[in-house]
């Protein structure tokens, strides 16, 4: 039944090869929220899908050159209209966090689920995205009850990453979760200024 709830919030599946098995016995503890737009600040194209499936042609935009050879993915990608694409099933390990730590543990990919929101550090997210993110995270917590925290990439890779960025409203996100789930989750964006990324120079 809980599996079906999770399925409900996935509109499409696109298999990413950029994943592998979690270490044996891993309990999923954390949800990591990210933001991405490719090209930067441009929404609606297929470049993120291409990046996660290793089919992005670096010649199609100058900003893509630096992405050549990257092998990355996320479990989910939530577009501006709320459409949600699953690239990696949550029981597998997606490659979204890179160098990272959470509560003393390194390699957050091992024990987290990564959700990319189509967005940037410079533009507000959409109501449809908050709604879908809340529904998806709630379904994940019910499916994987070991999840007790939600953090941004900025919180687990401080100084290196800023996403989901200053326009992500953590209060709004928290209020999109059912109250009992919000109450039992530590939501990093709510509880500490020390996680704020360094200012962009």
Within residues 18-77, the interface with Zn ion by CB under 5 A covers: 34
Residue 152 has phi, psi (to 5 degrees) of -90, 160
Q: What angle do CA 103, 137, 193 make, to 5 degrees?
A: 40
| Minimum CB distance to Zn ion, residue 96 (Å) | 6
| Minimum CB distance to Zn ion, residue 1 (Å) | 32
Q: Characterize the bridge pairing of strands 149-152 and 30-36.
A: parallel
In the structure encoding, which two tokens stand for residue 5, read together? 């709830």
| Minimum CB distance to Zn ion, residue 156 (Å) | 9
Binding residues for Zn ion, how many (CB under 5 A)? 3
Query: Considering beta carbons, is residue 22 or 96 the nearer one to Zn ion?
Result: 96
Residue 196 has phi, psi (to 5 degrees) of -60, 135
Buried b (16+ CB within 10 A) or exposed e, 173-185: bbebbeeebbeeb
Which residue of 117, 163, 165, 173 would you call a contact of Zn ion, by CB under 5 A? 163
Chain centroid offset of residue 186 CA: 16
**Judged by CB under 5 A, which stretch of 10-18, 20-28, 145-153, 168-176 contacts Zn ion?**
145-153
**Total residue count of the chain as it appears in this document:** 201
Query: Considering beta carbons, is residue 153 or 155 the nearer one to Zn ion?
Result: 153
| Minimum CB distance to Zn ion, residue 62 (Å) | 21
Q: Does 121 help bind Zn ion (rule: CB under 5 A)?
A: no
**Judged by CB under 5 A, which stretch of 46-54, 121-129, 153-161, 189-197 contacts Zn ion?**
153-161
Smallest CA-to-CA distance from 123 within 38, 42, 32 is with 42
Question: DSSP class of residue 116?
Answer: E
**Judged by CB under 5 A, which stretch of 51-59, 67-75, 125-133, 162-170 contacts Zn ion?**
162-170
Q: Does 153 help bind Zn ion (rule: CB under 5 A)?
A: yes
Residues taking part in catalysis: 116
In the structure encoding, which two tokens stand for residue 120, read together? 């940037």
Residues engaged in binding Zn ion (CB under 5 A): 34, 153, 163
């Amino acid at each position: 039944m809980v599996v079906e709830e999770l399925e409900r919030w996935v509109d499409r599946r696109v298999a990413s090869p950029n994943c592998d098995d979690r270490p044996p016995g891993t309990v999923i503890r954390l949800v990591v929220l990210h933001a991405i737009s490719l090209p930067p600040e441009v929404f609606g194209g297929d470049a993120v899908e291409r990046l996660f499936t290793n089919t992005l042609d670096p010649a199609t935009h100058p900003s893509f050159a630096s992405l050549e050879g990257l092998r990355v993915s996320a479990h989910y990608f939530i577009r501006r209209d709320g459409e949600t694409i699953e690239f990696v099933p949550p029981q597998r390990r997606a490659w979204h966090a890179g160098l990272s730590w959470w509560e003393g543990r390194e390699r957050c990919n091992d024990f987290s689920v990564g959700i990319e929101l189509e967005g940037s550090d410079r533009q507000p997210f959409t109501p449809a995205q908050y709604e879908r993110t809340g529904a998806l995270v709630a379904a994940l917590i019910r499916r994987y009850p070991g999840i007790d925290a939600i953090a941004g990439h900025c919180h687990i890779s401080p100084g290196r990453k800023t996403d989901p960025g200053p326009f992500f409203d953590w209060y709004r996100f928290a209020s999109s979760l059912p109250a009992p789930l919000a109450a039992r989750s530590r939501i990093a964006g709510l509880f500490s200024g020390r996680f704020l990324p360094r200012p962009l120079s």
